[in-house]
Amino acid sequence: MDTQETELMLQGYGLTTAQLYYRMPDYQRVLNTYLWQEYDLAPDYPKLFGFIEFWQKEIDGPLHSVQFTHRKLIAPGEWRNVTGEFRLH
């Protein structure tokens, strides 16, 4: 895990995964999927909603629906500093 990711998690960010269903520009009856994953803040989800706004403005395939989940991997109270280490051969 990257240090930047750990710092984000300690600041309250969680891993947000979204599955976007969209229609193909030339074949409107065909649904395709796109998987998006980023660290984001619940309950406002600024990065997720920013990406959805970007999609609607810049991508030709119109969105059909979006499903997402959010999970905090660690919380600030769960982090502790390790002061020693024991090694067994």
Cα Rg of the chain (Å, integer): 19
Residue 60 CA neighbour count, 13 Å, CB half: 5
CB 18 within 8 A of CB 35: yes
Buried b or exposed e, range 68-88, using 16+ CB within 10 angstroms: eebeeeeeeeeeeeeeeeeee
Could you tell me the pLDDT band of residue 74, with boundaries at 50, 70 and 90?
confident
CB 40 within 8 A of CB 4: no
pLDDT at 85 over 80: no
Higher pLDDT, 56 or 88: 56
Per-residue pLDDT tens for 20-67?
999 998 998 999 999 999 999 999 999 999 999 999 999 999 999 999
pLDDT at 66: 95
